[in-house]
Amino acid sequence: METPAVPLREQLTQRAHALGFARVGVARAEALVEEGERLGAWLDAGHHDGMGWMADTRDVRSDPRHPGMLPGAESVVVLVTPFHSRRGAQVGIGAGRVARYAWGRDYHNVLGRRLRKLERWLRDEGHAVRHSVDSRPVFERAWAVRAGVGFVGKNSCLIVPGVGSHVFLSTLVTSAPLAPDAPIREGCGRCTACLDACPTDAFVSPRVLDARRCISNLTIEREDLAAPDLLAQTGDWLFGCDACQDVCPYNRTTPGELDPAFEPHARLGEVDLEALLSMSDERFLEWSEGSPMRRAGVVRMARNAAVVLGNTGGRVHLRVLRETGDRHPAESVRAAARWAVDAIERRARQVEGSSED
């Protein structure tokens, strides 16, 4: 008696779990009409700030069958990888905090290698496929909702019940006709903890984020120096921001098995903020090898370090900040250092004034 063939969908799920993906969902490949309209409105309002590639690829993002993605696509597979850690939320460099997703190795590299194994297997099965780890114009969150792996919270992050929002999303757009999953219900209710916690009031409304005020965008994507009020509200965030996720009740979930690739890397203790102010290009490339922080580049990291020192430092840092304000080759870093000097001196005067009272 022949053994019944295992359905392709079941084989895919088994292989994905064996590679370390925690959740797997499937959606039918079709036009994202409502989601595409919301994306267009968000782009037209300028909420994407300087991330022009999002506007340039809006049509591809709205339909995976677009010539720019995979004509003939039948299914979109969404894979979830948690990057939570048992460590607290204060991991960073010196007094500067780093967003949790960047503590470990670069997820593009780690998950890309795993996805390529699934991609090769699907091709061997006779199906066209393209994989993406935040690297192609794929509307990951929208597909994750359609695939039933989670819902979009009021902070615009995908929330996976039982896992939380500290997750990486990967996708496989394929010609394989796979049985789709059903979406799940949105579960934020009346909670507004994430909106209330944002230091810069970056949320225009629930699920509408203005990147022009978002600390993650300001510290990673933005090339020029933000307005003074935003610099002061950035606090000690050196790279990215987790403020709206740290307060989410769904992130109180006890972490299960942790992926060692995303545990805090030793590089986080190898330098301090002052070292970042004067780091050479060569040293930065060496230090950031295999890290998501490389995306910011040496200039933006130096700029961010100056801002954090302005918000958290004291007179002991004035000398190096003044030198940076006078000598650093990048204007954005010089401007940030000068702002930091003013901020520290202003705080010192306030402390002196209050002590006299």
Domain identity same for 30 and 139? yes
Domain identity same for 27 and 166? yes
* Coil/strand/helix, residue 344: helix
How many CA atoms does the CB half-sphere of 130 hold within 13 Å? Answer: 19
- Please tell me the distance from the alpha carbon of residue 103 to that of residue 262, in angstroms, as a whole number: 6
Spell out the residues 6+ positions from residue 218 whose beta carbon is closer than 8 angstroms to its own.
Answer: 200, 226, 230, 234
222 found inside a domain: no
Task: Provide the β-strand partners of residue 318.
Answer: none
Catalytic residues, by residue number, are 134
Domain boundary (134, 149, 174) is at 174
320 found inside a domain: yes
237 found inside a domain: no
**pLDDT greater than 90 at residue 182:** yes
Domain identity same for 273 and 158? no
**pLDDT greater than 80 at residue 283:** yes
Domain boundary (174, 189, 208) is at 174
Confidence of residue 2 (pLDDT cuts 50, 70, 90): very low
Mean pLDDT of 242-262: 86
Mean pLDDT of 195-222: 97
Confidence of residue 1 (pLDDT cuts 50, 70, 90): very low
Domain boundary (121, 142, 174) is at 174
Q: What is the mean pLDDT of the chain?
A: 92
**DSSP of 208-263, one letter per residue?**
EE-GGG-HHHHHHT--SPPPHHHHHHHTTEEE---HHHHT-GGGGSPP-S--GGGS
- Residue 129: predicted pLDDT: 97
CB 16 within 8 A of CB 170: no
Which has the higher per-residue pLDDT, 33 or 94? 33
Torsion region of 94: left, alpha or beta (phi above 0 gives left; psi -120 to 50 gives alpha): left
- Please tell me the distance from the alpha carbon of residue 186 to that of residue 203, in angstroms, as a whole number: 18
CA 35 to chain centre: 20
Domain identity same for 32 and 153? yes
Domain identity same for 13 and 155? yes
- Please tell me the distance from the alpha carbon of residue 77 to that of residue 69, in angstroms, as a whole number: 14
Residue with the two structure tokens 């304000």: 325
- Please tell me the distance from the alpha carbon of residue 296 to that of residue 136, in angstroms, as a whole number: 19
Amino acid at 199: P
229 found inside a domain: no
- Please tell me the distance from the alpha carbon of residue 32 to that of residue 282, in angstroms, as a whole number: 43
Structure token digits, residue 231: 């610099």
CB 163 within 8 A of CB 23: yes
46-100 per-position pLDDT tens digit: 999 878 888 888 899 999 999 999 999 999 999 999 997 665 545 566 779 999 9
* Coil/strand/helix, residue 139: coil
331-356 per-position pLDDT tens digit: 999 999 999 999 999 998 887 776 65
Residue with the two structure tokens 């370390």: 20
Domain identity same for 32 and 139? yes
Residue with the two structure tokens 């009020």: 229
Domain identity same for 166 and 294? no
**pLDDT greater than 60 at residue 258:** yes
Among 271, 201, 204, CA closest to 232 = 201
- Residue 174: predicted pLDDT: 97
Among 261, 80, 105, CA closest to 164 = 80
- State the burial class of residue 250 (Cβ atoms within 10 Å of its Cβ: 0-12, 13-18, 19+): buried
Structure token digits, residue 135: 């690297």
109: containing domain: 8-85+103-174
Residue with the two structure tokens 């895919």: 12
- State the burial class of residue 349 (Cβ atoms within 10 Å of its Cβ: 0-12, 13-18, 19+): exposed
118-175 per-position pLDDT tens digit: 999 999 999 999 999 988 899 999 999 999 999 999 999 999 999 999 999 999 999 9
325 found inside a domain: yes
- Please tell me the distance from the alpha carbon of residue 291 to that of residue 102, in angstroms, as a whole number: 7
298 found inside a domain: yes
- Please tell me the distance from the alpha carbon of residue 95 to that of residue 134, in angstroms, as a whole number: 29
**pLDDT greater than 90 at residue 216:** yes
110 found inside a domain: yes
Structural domains in the chain (count)? 2
3-state SS record for 254-279: CCCCCCHHHCCCHHHHCCCHHHHHCC
182 found inside a domain: no
Reduced DSSP (H G I as helix, E B as strand, rest coil) percent helix, strand, coil of the chain, to 5? 45, 15, 40
- Please tell me the distance from the alpha carbon of residue 315 to that of residue 304, in angstroms, as a whole number: 18
Query: What's the pTM value of the predicted model, to 2 decimals?
Result: 0.92
Mean pLDDT of 190-215: 97
